[in-house]
Structure 1
Amino acid sequence: MTVNSGSAAFWDQRYQQHSMPWDSAGLPAGFAEEAARLLQAGARRVLLPGCGSAYELAALVQHGCQVLAVDFSAPAVARARELQPQLAGHIEQADFFSAATDGPWHWVYERAFLCALPPAMRAQYASRMAAILPAGGVLAGYFYLGDKRGGPPYTIEQATLQALLAPYFVLERQCKPASSLPVFGDGEQWMVWRRTQEA
């Protein structure tokens, strides 16, 4: 059977079957500390693409951020709104690659989004991130590194990620989270990619 993780229907089925090994059931390890660094530096307009249950949304809103969480899967959006009904207005069903996510943003948060996309969409991911983040903005979050075959989640080797983002971003910070979900093993890395000056 062919896997098409670029289709909303693929993810709809996962949510309907409650097959969500990427769901952390709360804030990921280290998120609060790493987010505090970015917030102190002025990252106040935040986009959460492929937001899933959007556990990070409440923490960011409580810190006074303007946040938009989007997912193109209707069941994912319904779940996020059910978990956080008071923040339903911050959660939209939308395609990251559409005008619905036009910035500019200070910070686009990466968590199980790049690794969910078919590898053929990686160049589109990088160019879209560059389009919605102005110079000085950050693409920051958890990247799934490695050379495991198959997916999703799809690993990406660090050298490949560097080549993908280097035309637009510079890697400013990288560290290993204290813990990760079993589906990611020891492959997750917190990374902060700073948007370079636009040509």
Structure 2
Amino acid sequence: MNILIFLGSCRTSSPPRPKRLGERVSLACSHLLNRAFPGNTVEIIDPLDYDTGGVFKPEFAYSRKQVPQQLATLAEKIKHADAYVMVSPEYNHSMSPALAHLLNHFGSSLFSFKPSAIVTYSAGQWGGARAAVSMRTFLSELGCLPVSAMIHLPCAQDVFSEDGHTINAEEQTHWDEYLHRTLAQMIWWAEASQQQRNKVDPLMVSKAFTHSPSQRNAPK
């Protein structure tokens, strides 16, 4: 299966310190997925690698021949992925604006009928848990339903090194088990949804809205 980890931060400078704490968390998730579930393809999607342009315009709002190459490339990756790990800090009790901005460039039909996992973090004591509340709604609307278990990482800079490994080797088993519970749920649902998609095209059962928001309206 193909698994995408979306890194929800585009900060490159300090403060805050340490910078790009989300990169450590994303790498930690990637390491565990590769160890615990070998044979899958795991890729971190870093918003710094994608130029979304100065004026917001979703990938699906372009004509097919005019979609910027970076958006087209990421759209294909999203389309062919089987699960998504969403890594976010907390901004004003909500998810990262960098993550929301990137995801909003793509239609829900690319994400639909696949699971996601919510991973939040902070440099302080709350672990970004309040951001997860809004993320559940956001990801459900996007179509990649989040699994019930979530990961919240307080003081993440004291848990993971810059390369995404557990700083205190004695605590590695504890953190592996904590991350594993959520990611294992995601993998279980990803395998199930992949098998069902191979049997029945979900967009033939529940068609995507591609023309107008009014397609959502109840009949008059």
- TM-score of the alignment, normalized to the shorter chain, above 0.5: no
| Structure with the larger helix share | 2
For normalisation by structure 2, the TM-score amounts to: 0.39
Larger radius of gyration: 2
RCO (CA 8 Å, sep 6+): is it higher in 1 or 2? 2
For normalisation by structure 1, the TM-score amounts to: 0.42
| Structure with the larger strand share | 1
